[in-house]
Structure 1
Amino acid sequence: MNMKTRVLTTALTATLLTTGILGCSNTNNQGSGENKKANTQTKTLNVVNGKIEPAASFTTVMGVNPGFKYREGESVTDNVFTRWAEDKFGVQIKTLWTGGATDGSYNTKLKLMLSANDELPDIVMSGSPANTNLLIDSGKFMEVEEVFEKYASPTWKSALADIKDPWLSVTRDGKKMAIPGTSTDYGQANNVLWIRQDWLDKLKLKAPTTIEELETVMDAFVNQDPDGNGQKDTFALDFAMKDKMTGSTLGDGSWIFGLYGAMPERWYPGEDGKLQNGSILPGVKQGLMKMKEWKDKGYFASDIALHDPNTIVTAVTSNKVGIVAAPSFFIQYPGSMLLATNPTAMFKPYPLPHGVNGPALHTYFTISGGTVINKDISDEALQAYFHYMNSMYAVYESDNPLEYFKGFQEGYQYVVKDGKIVTDEKEIPGGKINSNDYIFGSMPDVASKMKEITLKVAKKEELTEKDRAFMQALGIADDTNPLQRIVYDAMLISMDEESSRVREHYMGPLTSTMSARNELLQKMQMETYSKIIYGEAAVDTFDQFVEKWKSSGGDTITKEVNEWYDSVK
């Protein structure tokens, strides 16, 4: 479910690891920016065979996912990965504090740290645009362009070059204020339609390819007792619309509007090339009319306005819903939970049905974030951070990637017996633990390489020994598990639908009017959408909403967004 893609490049990172020089001083570049770290003469750290001697350190903080665990006797500050990083790279990673990544505690501690003027870590990695903006706007972190150009390895730079417009979201007044992440979507984050195959088979139906065929399937899923319990207690479709209509990690409903050529809550180019807000386009009105019709027919639950990913998980695992739009991980979560209680149940991935003008437009949850660097970081800590990152990305230049990461993976993720990799939990002393989760930040991503290997596995093409070594080292699952095979099937479908995907084109910071009016505009939108879907307001109420949206700040925001867009074209 947490499948990441990494990529091989042609850069020569090995020179950084063997020459004894981490970065070169530049005494002639007297730039006028606020960042003096890259413009002044600094003492380069002593690197011998890829290891800083004596060891250098940097500080950070960490968001921890639920269920995350260390092996007995280990902790966030002392575990197999931190020991390996110090032993192999000469870098000590010192975590000042941790917080829950999903319960809000990490975000709360981050805000308190910034507002209370507490000790700031040298490096903060952010996995969300909101936190990245919070950190940048605090004014406590440095411009990064010069230090990145000076210290980052060719492989890391090449990985970033794989990403479309990576710097836009972290640039302020022309200054790059955070280092973007290199994770990107290669089929794993894009939605496909997951349909109960056992229900289709029982009712002798085929997977839908058009709106009309979809409605035939939905009607049967509601009215022909697909679960065979003699009761009318199933719903055809579930989607998330609590607080927003678009971009849910599970049960995204954007494709319904995409059937009619619109994508709410996204800024994307119109026919004139200028950015438009999809929430006010005519296609949304058609989508709302169709959703009202479906609700009246009982195709989805009467409390749909309250549905979010958690509600959808409950519906799926309780055997009550037949169709959900979701990314490739859906079959593993929550699909595997359904299988645990109903072994004959099976969701299969299918393409989204075609809309009135061809393939349905759709969007996806974004993989984004960035790393900020404390303005007051020491030269030693700055170089230690870049040496660590460069050394992690160097796995892509290794002739033996499995050997490269052996020091923190063997004995945790696998053992070697009779010269072969064994991943069976029972064969690993102390139990199997995914020590890749221990990595500071995440496994380094080079998207082109990961996509290359993923496509090979998905298409059942022959893998080289080096491909297999990369898969084991970087945590890329093979397809021997039946559910993982379905994940790859979904990813292939997702890749085929890439041309009809609508990405968010506005990557800038909140504009002044957004800060003042976004909450009001979103509330107006959701109230109008909900009332139309529930039949509490005529569909023409949408036209009134559009005019009110424009006059309540929407037109001003549109102007601000396009000023930014024109500045970065």
Structure 2
Amino acid sequence: MKNRVMPIVLSLIMVLTILLAACSSKTADPTTNPTTDLNTVPSTSTNSPGGVKGKYDPPIELTTVMYNFNYPKFGEGDSLNNNPWTRYLLEQDGIKVNHLWDVASAQYEQKVNLMIASGNIPDFFAVSPLQFKQLHNAGLIEDLTHSYEQYATEETKQVIQDAGPEVIQSAIIDGKLMAIPWSGENLVYSPSVLWVRSDWMEQLKLSPPQSMNDVLHIAEAFTKQDPDGNKQDDTFGLAMDKNFDMMTGFLNAYHAYKGIWMEDGAGRLAYSSIQPEMKTALAKLQEMYAARQLDPEFGIKDYAKVEESIGSGKIGLIFGNIGTSELTQRLTPAIDWIPYPVPSIDDKPALMQHPLNIAGYYWVVKKGTKNVEAIYQMIQVWLDLFYNNTSDEMYAQYNATSDTGYWMNAPIRIYKTFKDVDIYRHLKPLLESSDKEHADVSELTPEERDFYARILDFEKGNSDNRWVYWKEGLNSSAKVIDGYITNKQYQPDKFIITPTPAMIQKKPNLDKMENQMISKIILGGSLDEFDKFVSEWKKLGGDDITKEVNDWYANK
């Protein structure tokens, strides 16, 4: 949920919402059914979703629990069980939702653990992957196989299908659908996008990057040719942090992937970080570090410290994501950073790694709950009010105003994976028209209308909307992601269940070894450190983990 019709401060809060919700996910290949029809704005009836009979009369009651974010979600006089969403569901659908409690997002999983331990769970609620497995093993949740097929609307099924085939697979245990995945936006927000300072490119008369060799040339120029014109040797080509979060796009350009499980071509899964492509990519980063194309102090800088370097004009290349325009707006408000697809080092396209496309949670239903079908009715209400409506009034009532995020009161949610790409595709024909000022925007959603107005405002000179232009405009980061979807440039993590026993016991130490190896090599250590790491990784638990992963993969 990002960037609704509201000032930029609220949009940034929405971005943090998704980042917080999605921090622990893994993902699926999005290319089978990349998205719904993007040329129209869907319109459905919330009163007759799927096979549900419509409004319950007399009303039914369902209990749940939920988390919130550090932002107001209640209007004047509203409360947890008396707000626009609970009133709508009761009045329009005959569903009375009773929230037992509501806590801050950081406390949610612990609170759910305590609730599960007490044996008193609500009718439906969101659980982590581990909690999902525990509840299933204890026989406490409903088999949703038949109810999902019968009652989930076609739109609901499409949203989950768009999230990638492995998303629904991850909710199936022993051939039964035991949860509804809280589909996420990882296929849009996880893939790397290359961002380049346009003023430095113009100052040095450089051409846009078409290959990874072009990127390396630009990084060298940004380091050696004084792009800021201050006659000091104080600029670096590429942003890098000590935790290597900003390294992913660079690795993917070399067909290297950090920390995921991928098919090995022989029907098995292999751990990506021990593959030879990783060694090749690290060797190049070592060269760049030696040539001062990386910040010499990156090894002690966390992400916040790297932001300081970007803001002070020391860095010209960032492997970020679709939302990096919001970061650059905040750090360098007068500078255009141009988004480009991550190029490849050779003639094979670069594939973007990503985790399982869930927003961190699964929706489960307590075993024995009556009217299970009502959860699908509530999901469709969410889709209609949050995504499908074109009414500014309804948006302000159920989604958000400049100071209140009403959407947090929705008792059940799933996210449309390609929403930001949908926006780009909807705006594209209007932005390409000869009369943009008088384009018919009536079929756009309120968010889309707001973005369209912001883009036109930026084109007239209002730099406050620079971030929207580079995120959703004609040559935006959304266009880059659209290209990834069209060209099937995704590398999913193929391991989609909770950690295996060996992972729980041995993975933390192996991950620490991996980061130490990466750091040693980049900082100038022998490339033999990679081979030593691979050998030690296997001996100290990697082989045990690989066996468990492939035992699961062979029988999934």
TM-score (norm 2): 0.78
1:493 aligns with 2:487: no
Work out the CA distance in 1 between the residues paired with 2:237 and 2:320: 15
Change (3 A) 1:412 1:365: closer
Work out the CA distance in 1 between the residues paired with 2:210 and 2:48: 56
Question: 2:11 corresponds to which residue?
Answer: none
Change (3 A) 1:465 1:112: farther
Deviations 1:135-161 (A, max 9, x none): 656754333223323432333233333
Deviations 1:283-334 (A, max 9, x none): 11111111122222222233434555444444333433221112211112x1
Work out the CA distance in 2 between the residues paired with 1:70 and 1:363: 38
State the aligned residue count.
504
Question: 1:356 corresponds to which residue?
Answer: 346
Letter in 1 for 2:168: W
Deviations 1:387-414 (A, max 9, x none): 322444467998xx335x9556359858
The question of whether the paired residues in 1 share the 8 Å contact of 2:255 and 2:277 is answered with yes
Letter in 1 for 2:256: A
Question: 2:22 corresponds to which residue?
Answer: none
Matches within 5 A, 1:219-368: 219-242=220-243, 245=244, 248=245, 251=246, 253-332=247-326, 334-339=327-332, 343-364=333-354, 366-368=356-358
Work out the CA distance in 1 between the residues paired with 2:312 and 2:100: 42
The question of whether the paired residues in 2 share the 8 Å contact of 1:349 and 1:490 is answered with yes
Moved more, 216-225 or 271-280: 216-225
Matches within 5 A, 1:60-459: 60-101=64-105, 104-115=106-117, 117=118, 119-126=120-127, 129=129, 140-165=140-165, 166-184=167-185, 187-242=188-243, 245=244, 248=245, 251=246, 253-332=247-326, 334-339=327-332, 343-364=333-354, 366-368=356-358, 369-376=360-367, 378-380=369-371, 382-393=372-383, 401-402=389-390, 406-407=393-394, 409-410=396-397, 433-442=404-413, 445=416, 454-458=424-428
Change (3 A) 1:254 1:396: closer
Matches within 5 A, 1:525-544: 525-535=514-524, 537-544=525-532
Q: SS at 2:64's partner residue?
A: strand
Work out the CA distance in 1 between the residues paired with 2:361 and 2:447: 24
Shift of 1:194: 0.7
Q: SS at 1:181's partner residue?
A: strand
Work out the CA distance in 2 between the residues paired with 1:363 and 1:12: 33
The question of whether the paired residues in 2 share the 8 Å contact of 1:10 and 1:155 is answered with no
Shift of 1:280: 0.5
Q: SS at 2:492's partner residue?
A: coil
Deviations 1:453-498 (A, max 9, x none): 5423245467999984452279984364343231122121223234
Question: 1:503 corresponds to which residue?
Answer: 492
Shift of 1:254: 2.0
The question of whether the paired residues in 2 share the 8 Å contact of 1:6 and 1:449 is answered with no
Change (3 A) 1:553 1:183: same
Work out the CA distance in 2 between the residues paired with 1:212 and 1:388: 51
The question of whether the paired residues in 2 share the 8 Å contact of 1:274 and 1:562 is answered with yes
Change (3 A) 1:22 1:289: closer
Work out the CA distance in 1 between the residues paired with 2:223 and 2:114: 49
Change (3 A) 1:538 1:11: closer
Letter in 1 for 2:341: P
Shift of 1:547: 1.6
Letter in 1 for 2:370: D
The question of whether the paired residues in 2 share the 8 Å contact of 1:186 and 1:495 is answered with no
Shift of 1:538: 1.5
Change (3 A) 1:314 1:439: farther
The question of whether the paired residues in 2 share the 8 Å contact of 1:196 and 1:322 is answered with yes
* Alignment counterpart, residue 551 of structure 1, candidates 515, 534, 539: 539
Letter in 1 for 2:98: K
Shift of 1:363: 1.7
Moved more, 467-476 or 163-172: 467-476
Question: 1:43 corresponds to which residue?
Answer: none
The question of whether the paired residues in 1 share the 8 Å contact of 2:163 and 2:357 is answered with no
Letter in 1 for 2:315: V
Moved more, 157-166 or 512-521: 157-166
Work out the CA distance in 2 between the residues paired with 1:177 and 1:255: 35
Shift of 1:379: 0.8
TM-score (norm 1): 0.76
**How much is the aligned-residue C-alpha RMSD, in angstroms?**
3.8
Change (3 A) 1:13 1:257: closer
Letter in 1 for 2:65: V
Question: 1:56 corresponds to which residue?
Answer: 60
Consecutive unaligned residues in structure 1, runs of 5 or more:
24-46, 415-430
The question of whether the paired residues in 1 share the 8 Å contact of 2:65 and 2:100 is answered with yes
The question of whether the paired residues in 2 share the 8 Å contact of 1:292 and 1:533 is answered with yes
Work out the CA distance in 1 between the residues paired with 2:449 and 2:121: 32
Question: Alignment identity in percent?
Answer: 25
The question of whether the paired residues in 2 share the 8 Å contact of 1:319 and 1:338 is answered with no
Change (3 A) 1:13 1:217: closer
Work out the CA distance in 1 between the residues paired with 2:301 and 2:521: 17
Higher fraction of helix: 2
Shift of 1:193: 0.2
Change (3 A) 1:490 1:58: same
Work out the CA distance in 2 between the residues paired with 1:449 and 1:196: 27
Change (3 A) 1:397 1:503: closer
Shift of 1:546: 1.0
Letter in 2 for 1:538: S
Deviations 1:425-467 (A, max 9, x none): xxxxxx564534443344663x688855542324546799998
Moved more, 196-205 or 186-195: 186-195
Letter in 2 for 1:319: G
Letter in 2 for 1:457: L
